[in-house]
Amino acid sequence: MDLSLLQQKFISVFKKDSEASFFAPGRVNLIGEHIDYNGGLVFPCAITLGTYGIVSKRSDNKFRAYSANFENLDIIEFSLDDLSYNKDHNWCNYLKGVLKYLREAGHNVDTGLDMLIFGNIPNGSGLSSSASLEILMCKICTDMYALTLSSVEAALLGKKVENEYIGVNSGIMDQFAIALGKENHALLLDCNTQEYKQIPFRLEGYSIIIMNTNKRRELADSKYNERRSECESALAKLQKTFDIRALCELNDDNLDEVSSIVSDPIEFKRAKHAITENTRVIAATKALENNDLTLFGKLLNASHVSLRDDYEVTGKELDALVGAAWEEEGVLGARMTGAGFGGCAIAIVDNGKTDDFIKNVNQKYLKEIGYEASFYIASIGNGPTQIN
């Protein structure tokens, strides 16, 4: 759906013209999976799929919000007088959480908005549609109410909404990647210190292809919490020997000692993934700085193997997609991205081979899984912007 169609839709829903249009990207994590909550380095980038917001100010304190993705929900209405969580308000709770914490931080949001929201991030794909919506709302409020809110403050506020208001125990990566997105750059982010660095990502002759399993991630939340507690248990044992706050403060040289301290084989595998994945992120950023896409691709492959064997969060659909991708000509590397158990994988593919790649991988996936995957050729885009 293009912008002019969304603006027309706004008029038909709200019976008036819109004042401004906004966009916030989704994100894909290139490498560094399931280590943001283990104090590790992650390496995401903003993508050109994301969430649009078409808005107009109101003179009262009411918000009327309409999603072009969930038209059956019609207009959802709430006011600044009551920003408490309400399950009947569905996706609008993300908007309410942003408003609540902006006001608590002393920002002056004094009137309501009419808002039409549309996202072209596949629902349940793991490309971070909720963080995209949170950062979009931060950008809308910053511009519509002339607030002083930095990109880092927006990212931290979005995380607070996710953790405290919605109740999802996620790390900082998604909001940072989206709020600080920069075209043709990936973001090296230290989740321990929140220090970050923009790393140029020159995909000369290659594209990132996002491969959606089209399996909703039913298991992801429960398994996420399970993995997190396994890591915390391993960390508690290691802290009796090592002066560390997080697993990723250790490195590959410590693995023998880790295996002797963490006797539970499952907990050791989880800790091993966290430690080795962090090492891979460091190697991957160096590979890009040296313009070595071949090495970068090999590190993606190794990441998937670790997520499959040590962290056990892939599942048959992701393994089928990535396995099929590895067999194709012109593929530098492929791996799952996001929480796992469905959702998406990424592949770095020679531009001259993308059509064959999509056709062949889809055929193999259909044969093995019984339904088709979806494919998106992604560009690395900027963070949230006001379009007009």
Instruction: Round to whole Å and give the CA distance between 64 and 116.
Output: 9
pLDDT at 231: 97
Which of the two residues, 259 and 218, has the higher pLDDT score? 259
pLDDT at 320: 98
The structure tokens listed for 2 are 């293009």
Residue 220 predicted with pLDDT over 70: no
Instruction: Round to whole Å and give the CA distance between 66 and 199.
Output: 37
- Maximum Cα interatomic distance, the chain, rounded to a whole number of Å: 68
Q: Is residue 16 a contact partner of residue 56, using CB atoms and an 8 Å limit?
A: yes
Those residues with Cβ within 8 angstroms of residue 28's Cβ, 6 or more apart along the chain or in another chain: 44, 45, 47, 127, 208, 210, 337, 344, 346, 378
Pick the CATH number of 3-201+382-386 from 3.40.50.300, 3.40.47.10, 1.10.20.10, 3.30.230.10: 3.30.230.10
pLDDT at 343: 87
Domain boundaries, the chain: 3-201+382-386
The structure tokens listed for 249 are 């403060």
For 261-271, b/e burial (b = at least 16 CB within 10 A) is: bbeeeebbbbb
- Residues marked active site are found at 174
- pLDDT, mean of residues 68-95: 96
Scanning the structure block, which residue is given the tokens 């995380």?
A: 159
- Secondary structure (DSSP) of 211-229: EE-----TTHHHHHHHHHH
Q: Each residue of 89-139: pLDDT tens digit?
A: 999 999 999 999 999 999 999 999 999 999 998 766 677 889 999 999 999
- The pTM of the full predicted model, rounded to 2 decimals, is 0.90
Q: 195: exposed, middle or buried (C-beta count within 10 Å: 0-12, 13-18, 19+)? A: exposed
Q: Each residue of 200-210: pLDDT tens digit?
A: 998 889 999 99
pLDDT at 219: 58
pLDDT category of residue 241 using cuts at 50, 70 and 90: very high
Those residues with Cβ within 8 angstroms of residue 220's Cβ, 6 or more apart along the chain or in another chain: 126, 339, 340, 341, 342, 343
User: Which is nearest to 95 in space by CA: 115, 124, 75, 118?
Assistant: 115
Q: In Å, how far from its chain's centre is CA 205?
A: 25
